[in-house]
């Protein structure tokens, strides 16, 4: 892992350790089993046209604060009303100002699949996600060994959820495919230095092959970017900063999917 990614993962592990100390895994297992059935992220993203995963986060490590007034319930309703196909909820506390509890809030405000976006390395985080109502989780190839990725992906599916498996280059994409990923993200942002390359999804699209869903992550600035990605064969875009900085995120989503 790079220094930046390693730091974010270490923060997530410390946050998880604190929560584990107050909520034992056995309790989470019971809560996850009692949670409502997970909504189908893959089916939502496979609908005709370009799908939008609308992201909820009050700040980012690279861009700082994104809003002065973060209200998860209102944000989830606005994204729903704009026609988003799924919600991505940052639960990482230190770097993004999120909270696992925001998952429950977001899910209650819409019928959309809700993705837990965090730096997941531990099965406890998967149980926590399902217990709080998450329908899917993010797994970052660069943060996991091949064995750990395969194990977490299998456990995610055992819990009834889907995984958005995030990659950044051809080698990581091959690792995702080998692990059996069917919903694959290409992060245009390099977690080593936070630089951006908006051509990555188009260049990696042929390698993804048929029968899988490709999600372009980071760097979508407007409807022009969204249309360019759709023409390149991208199935969905994950959009955060553009929506978080907008006074009318519902209108922005409608423009992206027009």
Where in the sequence numbering do the catalytic residues fall? 55, 57, 117, 166, 187, 217-218
Instruction: At 133, give phi and psi (nearest 5°).
Output: 100, 5
Residue 119 has which token pair?
């730096």
Q: 136-140 and 114-117 as β-strands: parallel, antiparallel, unpaired?
A: parallel
Q: Report the SS3 class of residue 183.
A: strand
Q: How far apart are CA 18 and CA 34, in angstroms?
A: 23
Share of the chain residues as helix, strand and coil, in percent rounded to the nearest 5: 50, 20, 35
Dihedral sign, Cα of residue 194, residue 198, residue 201, residue 206 = negative
- How many angstroms separate the Cα of 256 from the Cα of each of 60, 112, 118, 183, 225? 22, 18, 25, 20, 9
Element (DSSP H or E) covering residue 51? strand 51-56
Q: How far apart are CA 1 and CA 198, in angstroms?
A: 22
Q: How far apart are CA 239 and CA 53, in angstroms?
A: 6
**Burial of residue 69, with CB atoms counted within 10 A of its CB: 0-12 exposed, 13-18 middle, 19 or more buried:** exposed
């Amino acid at each position: 892992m790079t220094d930046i990614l390693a730091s974010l993962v270490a923060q997530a592990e410390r946050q998880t350790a604190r929560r584990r100390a107050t909520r034992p895994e056995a309790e989470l297992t019971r809560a996850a089993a009692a949670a409502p059935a997970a909504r189908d992220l893959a089916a939502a993203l496979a609908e005709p046209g370009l799908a939008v995963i609308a992201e909820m986060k009050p700040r980012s490590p690279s861009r700082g604060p994104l809003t002065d007034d973060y209200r998860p319930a209102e944000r989830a309703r606005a994204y729903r009303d704009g026609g988003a196909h799924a919600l991505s909820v940052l639960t990482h506390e230190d770097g993004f100002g999120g909270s696992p509890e925001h998952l429950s809030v977001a899910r209650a405000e819409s019928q959309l699949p809700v993705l837990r976006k965090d730096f997941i390395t531990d099965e406890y985080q998967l149980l926590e996600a399902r217990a709080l109502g998450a329908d899917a989780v993010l797994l970052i190839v660069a943060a996991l060994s091949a064995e750990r990725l395969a194990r977490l992906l299998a456990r995610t599916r055992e819990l009834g959820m889907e995984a958005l498996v995030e990659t950044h280059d051809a080698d990581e994409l091959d690792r995702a495919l080998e692990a059996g990923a069917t919903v694959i993200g290409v992060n245009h942002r390099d977690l080593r230095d936070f630089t951006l390359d908006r051509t990555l999804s188009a260049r990696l699209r042929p390698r993804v092959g048929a029968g899988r869903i490709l999600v372009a992550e980071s760097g979508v600035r407007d409807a022009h970017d969204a249309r360019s990605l759709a023409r390149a064969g991208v199935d969905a875009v994950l959009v955060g900063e553009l929506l978080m900085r907008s006074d009318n995120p519902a209108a922005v989503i409608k423009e992206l999917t027009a």
